[in-house]
Amino acid sequence: MSRHRIVRTMDYNDEYDGYDDIYGHSVEDEHCISPTDAQQWLYDRARGQQSISAFISKNKDIQEEEADEEEDAAFEKARRDSESFQMPQLDEIEQAKLSSCVDEVRSVVGDAVSERRIVETSMKFDYDMQKILDEILNEETKKSAKPSVNRMKAPAAPVLPKTVSKTVATPPPKISLKEPRRGFEIPSPKVPSSPVVSGRNTPVDISGDDISRSSATLFKVSKEQAVRNARQLYEKERADQKSHIHMIVIGHVDAGKSTLMGHLLYDTGNVSQRVMHKHEQESKKLGKQSFMYAWVLDETGEERTRGITMDVGQSRIETKTKIVTLLDAPGHKDFIPNMISGATQADVALLVVDATRGEFESGFELGGQTREHAILVRSLGVNQLGVVINKLDTVGWSQERFTEIVTKLKSFLKLAGFKESDVSFTPCSGLTGENLTKKAQEPALTSWYSGPHLLDVIENFKVPERAIDRPLRMSVSDIYKGTGSGFCISGRVETGVLCLNDKVLVGASREQAQVKSLTMNEFPQTSVFAGDQVSVTLPALDINNVTVGCIISDPQTPIPVTTRFQARIIVFNVKVPITMGFPVLLHHQSLIEPAVVCKLTASIHKSTGEVVKKKPRCLGNNSCALVELETSRPICIERYADFKELGRVMLRVAGVTIAAGMVTKIR
């Protein structure tokens, strides 16, 4: 009714009746506050690297997003203790020292000790970490009979005496240039060897970059998500399960990859007799009976009529100790982009070669896929390789042929950067099923071969270490309509852990979404971990903002988004040299994006890593260089030093892979 009020004669004192009541009160949640005020209340890692726990105990006024957790009595008391605690008056340097010190201590002892206690102890020992910790921990054990054991699993190693303030960032891990390396042997990222089990899944300090990066972090997450202990969760959930491993099957076109896998699936009982019979009848009808096993994985009509795999086929088998996800890659040259997106998901690879005379040679010579695939998977970070000499029955299980192929491949694989101990050679036949899941029975073969059969080889693959403690990164490889509402995004969790109802950021647009359902192999899950192949339902997300190849990341440490970055590349055999302005296709995980080589920074020596020439005019065959790449659209990418999995790129031109590289700098 305010329209009808007589404004002119209004008594303002009456109108602002309640004004005096509010005046002088603290700012409440529904009120707007100025940015400087907001800064005071908001958690910002850039300032002094405070941990969340320190923040919680210092600011009593902030409401928890989910305030329903039941904290144990001791913690409650400690919190109250610190509530009334005022920070002592110190000058700036002292303050910085103190806060870094408190932070360090917190990362070891967790929330169990009050802020006041830590501060007092720190001042007492003049910020000497070792002494402070001794003091506090000793007291703790004396005080309570139940120390927080899980928090102290790795107490000594990661705690370095650090007296300087943290704002003086530790230098980012540098790739040491001196030590000789060959092929793709590159130093792995500097991750603490025994991850700190500190009750937080955000890394405490990876590199100097992290500090500046997190300044943009204003995305809220639930407290549960923020302080989750990934390793513990993993141990709880997966302790009783077999370890997962992803295996990609690669090789020249018509080497028999799909048939081999189809037969393996059949022999391990993953394909029913009925289905197999159907395939047999149908393939017979088309006059392609030899394709009956391949049809297990080649499902689309196009693939079946043409008799070649076009997209990566997926299925899984269980061995005695492992669950193996098989990725059946296409061998045809035109489908290498599909193969690359499959290979980025793989931990180990199975290289299938055709032993038939002439066939092996054509696949192995320059331009053959045996060669390109092996180099590709190696540069995508696969270092365990099982070589299967297939179709050996066509040459009468001849040992000479086997050894001939093995010697040829051995020298090549060594050049490509595989360690000899990580490569195994197995003779078999995908069509007849010889030496597949049972020991060889063919007398011609048993006379000279007594090694393991294929399933054993797969069994013997080592499961690589999963980076569960790192922030979440998941690469999207497929988007499809799910059964329920919304659409499903499937992909591989590269690092970290993802739980139901977690908030995540999607792609370069950093759109926020909440995980509504998680499935792995059609089974719903509550949490998934690094290395898993999962489907995620994200409702209320614009489908146009999600593309194949984008990265889903943790809101607390979002993935960098850029259009320009520097990479260290190794140039393969190229027809024409790479110059500046060279248009390439950038392959990053499942992403394919046009890019331009916009600057050749330096060419470097292949084995020593020294700069040979600054700003070279062009890059020829087998050279190694630092270049800058620019994409037309922003992409999500990580430095190799931070995230091995997300720092690898491939450059392709006109259907040929011209270079592989690691991201060294992001603009």
Partner 1 sequence: MKLLGKYVDKGMQGNVTLMPEESEDMWHAYNLIAEGDSVRSTTIRKVQNETATGSSTSNRVRTTLTIAVESIDFDTQACVLRLKGRNIEENQYVKMGAYHTLDLELNRKFELRKPEWDTIALERIEMACDPTQSADVAAVVMQEGLAHVCLITASMTLVRSKIEVSIPRKRKGSVQQHEKGLAKFYEQVMQSILRHVNFDVVKCVLIASPGFVRDQFYDYMFQQAVKMDYKLLLDNKSKFMLVHASSGFKHSLKEVLQDPAVLAKMSDTKAAGEVKALEQFYMMLQCEPAKAFYGKKHVLQAAESQAIETLLISDNLFRCQDVGLRKEYVNLVESVRDAGGEVKIFSSMHISGEQLAQLTGIAALLRFPMPELEDSDDDDDEDGAAGGADSD
Rounded (5°) CA angle 647-649-654: 170
How many whole angstroms separate alpha carbon 309 and alpha carbon 299?
Answer: 9
Site string for partner 1, 300-339 (x = CB under 8 A): xxxx--x---xxxxxx----------------x-xx-x--
How many whole angstroms separate alpha carbon 519 and alpha carbon 525?
Answer: 5
For position 179 contacting partner 1 by CB under 8 A, the verdict is: no
Site string for partner 1, 633-652 (x = CB under 8 A): -------------------x
Q: How far is the CB of 297 from partner 1 (least distance, A)?
A: 9
For position 524 contacting partner 1 by CB under 8 A, the verdict is: no
CA 394 to chain centre: 42
For the segment 597-626, give every residue that binds partner 1 (CB under 8 A): 598, 614-615, 617-618, 620
For position 299 contacting partner 1 by CB under 8 A, the verdict is: yes
Helix axes 336-343, 369-379, angle to 10 degrees: 30
CB of 626 closer than 8 Å to CB of 614: no
Q: How far is the CB of 312 from partner 1 (least distance, A)?
A: 8
Question: Any idea what DSSP says for residue 46?
Answer: T
CA 551 to chain centre: 10
Q: How far is the CB of 526 from partner 1 (least distance, A)?
A: 23
Buried b (16+ CB within 10 A) or exposed e, 298-333: beeeebbeebbbebbbbbbbebeebebbbbbbbbbe
Q: How far is the CB of 193 from partner 1 (least distance, A)?
A: 37
Q: How far is the CB of 583 from partner 1 (least distance, A)?
A: 4
Among the residues of 434-575, which ranges form H helices? 443-446, 454-460
Rounded (5°) CA angle 474-479-480: 140
- Give the residue with the Cβ less far from partner 1, 63 or 544: 544
- Give the residue with the Cβ less far from partner 1, 335 or 449: 335
The residues, any chain, with a CB within 8 Å of residue 439's CB and separated by 6 or more, are: 453
For the segment 481-510, give every residue that binds partner 1 (CB under 8 A): 481, 490
Q: How far is the CB of 28 from partner 1 (least distance, A)?
A: 45
For the segment 543-602, give every residue that binds partner 1 (CB under 8 A): 543, 546-548, 574-577, 579-583, 585, 592, 594, 596, 598
Closest CA to 647 of 657, 637, 660: 637
Q: Which of 477, 495, 556, 603 binds partner 1 (CB under 8 A)?
A: 477
Q: How far is the CB of 163 from partner 1 (least distance, A)?
A: 42
Q: How far is the CB of 295 from partner 1 (least distance, A)?
A: 12
> What DSSP assignment string belongs to 518-559?
EEETTEE-SEEETT-EEEEE-TT--GGG--TT-EEE-SSSPP
- Give the residue with the Cβ less far from partner 1, 95 or 519: 519
Q: How many CA atoms lie within 13 A of 319 on its CB side?
A: 23
Q: How far is the CB of 522 from partner 1 (least distance, A)?
A: 8
Q: How many residues bind partner 1 (CB under 8 A)?
A: 50
Binding site for partner 1 (CB under 8 A): 299-303, 306, 310-315, 332, 334-335, 337, 477-481, 490, 543, 546-548, 574-577, 579-583, 585, 592, 594, 596, 598, 614-615, 617-618, 620, 652-656
